[in-house]
Structure 1
Amino acid sequence: MTTRKGIIIFVLSLVVLFSSLTTSAQEPRFGGTLRVAIGTSLKSIDWMCYTQVIVRQVGYHIWETLVTFDDKFRIIGHLAHDWKISPDHKTYTFYLRKGVQFHKGYGEMKAEDVKSSIDRYIKKAPSGSALNVNQVEVIDDYTVALHLTKPSGPAFLSLLALPSEAVIIFPKEIMDPLPDVNGIGLKEAVGTGPFELEDWIPGEKLVLSRFKDYSPPDFPAATGLGGKRVAYLDKVILIPTPEPSARVAALEAGDVDFADEVPATSYLSLKDNPGIKLYPVEPYFIPQAYFNMARGPFSKSIDLRKAVLAAVDTEQMLQAATRGYKDFYKVACGSLFYQDIQPDLYSKYGCEQGLYGKGSEFEKARELMKKAGYNGEKIVIITNTDYYYMYASALVLADQMGRAGFNTKLEVYDWPGELDRRSNLDAWDIAFSGNSIRMDPNMAYLWFYDKKKWTYFKEYKWPEMATLVEQDMAALTHEERLAVWDKMMRLFIDNATMINVGEVKTLYASNNKVHFMNWYLWSFWNTWIEK
């Protein structure tokens, strides 16, 4: 048997931490309410079954996983303090921390809760079948063994740690009988995290309150998504405020204490304001446009997808997404990963193959359109205004495709509205989204795994990618996984699978009484407010 407390999924050379960390000579204090203007509203808070970033940002505070990522992308214990891997890599045994309490009086977390939660994940989560878990065995109150159908290496632990469709742990009592996915997907939103859900009025507010019985793992400090997490704040009130200028105005007027995704145009007016603190978040997102692979012209023709890539100038899209502020974007080559912080994963293959890096090649686009047999069919592009970088990128894409000869129709919604529209695969041809940091490559490539219960690419049969996903799951070393990831990225680019626009950064902002410490996307443990 081999034992690991910190198995490295992949160690990255972090030149720049994702977001600035505030430091202060003052001691943190408990108390206070943090009012936060967020960019969009939630249609669900079922973190296990939904992939949207805002769902995970709320979920971080309420729920926890067996293991998680530290700030170097290594796996560390979270609800499990240790684990053991069998010699055949088919059984992973986890040793749970004792004394961890659930919210709302549900008592101590034990192995039966882990079993019922993982059973739900396997049955309900889109990536549940990708775990390849055959049996969840309760050995005693604090020991649970996951028996796999086939050997798996580091990729299995990374799946248990992924912040998208998270393998979060609920009390067994709210899992019996196994509920269907709905607004929260459960009878109650109960976890073990530093905050508990107090109130949620969709579209109006979501209130988190400090969980007084929270038990953090034994770490000297916070690290990544885990470590020592302290809920100093009494409450966090999340207020959907889709218009960026309205978020800034609310902060300046003192109506909120913290603003999500501050536009680049506000940087000059805020940077010298003594009452405001700015927090650069770099990188933030890769704007993306999905081709509909279930139906329509792009599902049938690689050439037509390549025609769009020939027409589009991704730098113009980035300029629009960041309102022309060059310091807020970085041109890339269609990679799913980030140049500076993921150098062993970032690929220039898209530029080498001529699919990225040029743009506005309208004659080339027309030749490919003719080769694909395109006859002027309407191309429906959907986007939203809640995330400005998606909206602005879509405007440029529609214009450039039109100049190449595509018949485009742009439909604009709020973010929940786009998600509703996107769920109808007969209603669109290109849909905008964003690629957050993929802490492990399977967070990206599982999109195309044919064993997923549901994905926007589910109907696109791609056996070559499915084979590579399974090879990644079976790989036992980082070096083996790197070789597989390179093949995946090349296949992804050669197939013109989607439009990866490039890297954008953003700003968070707060009043000067807030002491905010964050890693990448906002979270509010270890955040406190001066008197």
Structure 2
Amino acid sequence: MSPFRKFSIRISALCAMGLMGVTCAAQAQTAGGVLTAIVQPEPPMLMLGLNQQGPTQYVASKIYQGLLTYDAQLKPLPSLAKAWNISPDNLTYTFELQPGVKWHDGKPFTAADVVFSVDKFLREMHPRARPVINKYLESAKAPSPTTVEFKLKEPFSPFLSAFVVDNMPMVPKHIYEGTDFRTNPANQTPIGTGPFKFKEWKKGSHIVLTKNPDYWKKGQPYLDEIVFRVIPDAASRAVAFEKGDVQVLRGGDVDNVDIKRLKALPGVESTTKGWEMYGPLAFMIFNERKPPFDNVKVRQAVMHAMNRKFIVDNILFGMGKVATGPIASSTMFYDKNVPNFEFNLKKARALIAESGVNVGATPVKLVAFPYGSSWDRLGEYTKQSLEQIGFKVDLVATDAGGWAKRTGDFDFDLTFNFTYQFGDPALGVARHFMSTNIIKGSPFVNNQGYVNKKVDELFTTAAAARQPDLRQKLYSELQQILVQDVALGYLFELEYATLSRGNVKNLVTTGIGLNESFDSVYIQKK
């Protein structure tokens, strides 16, 4: 029996027993209805292969799909690929695609689209997938219209974890081949294979996705439309949910101070599940190309000046935990035994003195992170903290698109970001520190300009290692170096709550939570 056949039988059995974290059959589901959610801040675009900011991921993951999705234990599940096989030497990965899949314009989705997406589009454009593809992918071939074969140059342990939709979204070859990917008109009217098609985007008001009648899963999706409302003010977003104008709140949609009250409303359900793949971790980005942050003692001083427990308790209202380093505590190969930068203004001032840098000579441009009032308060707190140790700080306001451009163009002294771990440091963490990933144009690479050949070597070796013990040893060494160097200013791990009305069903079913396709989401009729 082929490995593909074995896999299909296993999936069928799991569905029959109700043991999967996804919906296997449309038994109790009811079709119809409109789901109303919030997208904030308003994304700069919906082309998921070009932009991976959180709001883009949330909306565009209903339009685009990846080959795989992942359960809460981060084990792969079928999406556009129905089965897969790995060669004994871990160098060849073969995927069998779902039959009868069409792009939203009616053209067939084939293995040629997968090869183009991975080997051309994402290899050039995607800040997370690009370093993995360029480093490890030897070739991508389509032996048949429904079969894709990837050959690696050397083993890469987490390769099977790389096919989540926001990391490797499939894009249509017939639309993008031979064009300038960045300026293709389809970027404004995205075309995918997902359960929902792009219908309308009224800037500053709403984004509407409509049911794909030719979706490859028979009988799905159940919803007629999804409306993502743009509501700039956090208090107004909370009111919209209270009044029932919005049925779903994603983590960050409202201020953390309002979560407890909204959870207590009649008929409201909440969960913190659905973030297992991501393990979001927030940090400061120092521009290490120029003074004052090219000096490690200055960066260390900043860490001592930041009371991160105060931030978690009073700005996040307890919904998070202090980060110890670049790897989240929920992610494989985390090591808590790293240098500790406790809150200590005296030590911070001493380090500034040791550095010999006049940190107040030129005002520092702190580019605000435009993701809600908690981040606004964090910016204000950071300005106050740095000024206590001699800095002059100018807070620079911007929107999501402006922040992405400035950060991607290295046009900042200091800013914030939070990014996802993707279940393995080789996928979610290495991109921020490897010198080969200092590439203009994206806010999710090595934007700080950190260069350390030893770190490059350790990340490369750890990614290829097959023994978990060896990988742990290498990642533990990396965490020691990256924390001591303050390669980024590690702040806190985020905890997010998803709130929804009780009649919204199947909202969080896998380890990627609200970044799922929503093809099984339905509204239970009263």
Q: TM-score, normalised by structure 2?
A: 0.83
Secondary structure of the structure 2 residue equivalent to 1:145: strand
Residues 45 and 188 in structure 2, CA contact (< 8 A), matched pair in contact too? no
The letter of the residue matching 1:248 is A
Residue in structure 1 matched with residue 321 of structure 2 by the alignment = 330
Matching of residues 55-134 of structure 1 within 5 Å: 55-107=56-108, 109-118=109-118, 119-126=120-127, 127-131=129-133, 132-134=136-138
Residue in structure 1 matched with residue 156 of structure 2 by the alignment = 153
Residue in structure 2 matched with residue 289 of structure 1 by the alignment = 284
Secondary structure of the structure 1 residue equivalent to 2:498: strand
Change in 2 beyond 3 A, CA 1:319/1:415? farther
Residue in structure 2 matched with residue 304 of structure 1 by the alignment = 298
Secondary structure of the structure 2 residue equivalent to 1:460: coil
CA offsets per residue over residues 350-395 of structure 1, 9 Å max, x none? 4xx232xx21x12211121122222123222122343333222222
RMSD: 3.0
Distance 1:54 1:116 in 2: 25
Residue in structure 1 matched with residue 394 of structure 2 by the alignment = 409
Secondary structure of the structure 2 residue equivalent to 1:68: strand
Residue in structure 1 matched with residue 340 of structure 2 by the alignment = 354
Residues 38 and 240 in structure 1, CA contact (< 8 A), matched pair in contact too? yes
CA offsets per residue over residues 225-282 of structure 1, 9 Å max, x none? xxxx952211001112232111111122333222333323224533443254444468
* 2:430 counterpart of 1:439: no
Secondary structure of the structure 2 residue equivalent to 1:104: coil
CA offsets per residue over residues 7-29 of structure 1, 9 Å max, x none? xxxxxxxxxxxxx999xxx9321
Residues 208 and 227 in structure 2, CA contact (< 8 A), matched pair in contact too? yes
Change in 2 beyond 3 A, CA 1:381/1:163? farther
Distance 1:21 1:66 in 2: 16
Residue in structure 1 matched with residue 198 of structure 2 by the alignment = 197
CA offsets per residue over residues 1-47 of structure 1, 9 Å max, x none? x96988xxxxxxxxxxxxx999xxx9321111111122211102222
Residue in structure 2 matched with residue 12 of structure 1 by the alignment = none
Distance 1:230 1:499 in 2: 44
* 2:272 counterpart of 1:274: no
Change in 2 beyond 3 A, CA 1:466/1:525? same
Residue in structure 1 matched with residue 36 of structure 2 by the alignment = 35
Cα shift at 1:89: 3.7
Change in 2 beyond 3 A, CA 1:305/1:91? same
Change in 2 beyond 3 A, CA 1:110/1:187? farther
Residue in structure 2 matched with residue 262 of structure 1 by the alignment = 254
Cα shift at 1:309: 0.6
Change in 2 beyond 3 A, CA 1:319/1:477? same
Change in 2 beyond 3 A, CA 1:476/1:506? closer
Cα shift at 1:54: 1.6
Distance 1:192 1:507 in 2: 29
Distance 2:56 2:422 in 1: 16
CA offsets per residue over residues 305-342 of structure 1, 9 Å max, x none? 101011111011223322xx33x23234235313xx44
Secondary structure of the structure 1 residue equivalent to 2:410: coil
Identity among equivalent positions (%) equals 23
Secondary structure of the structure 1 residue equivalent to 2:62: helix
Distance 1:269 1:27 in 2: 31
The letter of the residue matching 2:283 is Q
CA offsets per residue over residues 58-87 of structure 1, 9 Å max, x none? 232112222332221123343223333345
Change in 2 beyond 3 A, CA 1:516/1:391? farther
Residue in structure 2 matched with residue 220 of structure 1 by the alignment = none
The letter of the residue matching 1:364 is K
Residue in structure 2 matched with residue 390 of structure 1 by the alignment = 375
Q: Structure 2: state its 5+ residue gaps.
A: 8-20
Distance 1:513 1:85 in 2: 41
Distance 2:392 2:273 in 1: 37
Q: TM-score, normalised by structure 1?
A: 0.83
CA offsets per residue over residues 272-307 of structure 1, 9 Å max, x none? 432544444687743321111343421x21111101
Deviates more, 1:466-475 or 1:417-426: 417-426
The letter of the residue matching 1:387 is G
Residues 43 and 202 in structure 1, CA contact (< 8 A), matched pair in contact too? no
Distance 1:294 1:380 in 2: 14
Residues 305 and 386 in structure 2, CA contact (< 8 A), matched pair in contact too? yes
Cα shift at 1:129: 4.2
The letter of the residue matching 1:397 is T
Residues 262 and 506 in structure 1, CA contact (< 8 A), matched pair in contact too? no
Secondary structure of the structure 1 residue equivalent to 2:472: helix
Residues 42 and 203 in structure 1, CA contact (< 8 A), matched pair in contact too? no
Residue in structure 1 matched with residue 477 of structure 2 by the alignment = 487
Cα shift at 1:440: 2.0
Distance 1:408 1:123 in 2: 36
The letter of the residue matching 1:439 is G
Distance 1:184 1:296 in 2: 41
Distance 2:56 2:260 in 1: 31
Distance 1:235 1:167 in 2: 25
Judging by fraction of residues, say which structure has more strand. 1
Q: Structure 1: state its 5+ residue gaps.
A: 7-19, 218-228
The letter of the residue matching 2:320 is Y
Residues 378 and 408 in structure 1, CA contact (< 8 A), matched pair in contact too? yes
Distance 1:493 1:154 in 2: 24
Deviates more, 1:451-460 or 1:287-296: 451-460
The letter of the residue matching 1:270 is L
Distance 2:313 2:449 in 1: 33
The letter of the residue matching 1:155 is P
The letter of the residue matching 2:391 is F
Change in 2 beyond 3 A, CA 1:397/1:349? farther
Residues 21 and 517 in structure 1, CA contact (< 8 A), matched pair in contact too? no
Distance 1:85 1:527 in 2: 32
Change in 2 beyond 3 A, CA 1:286/1:171? closer
Distance 1:337 1:230 in 2: 36
The letter of the residue matching 2:333 is L
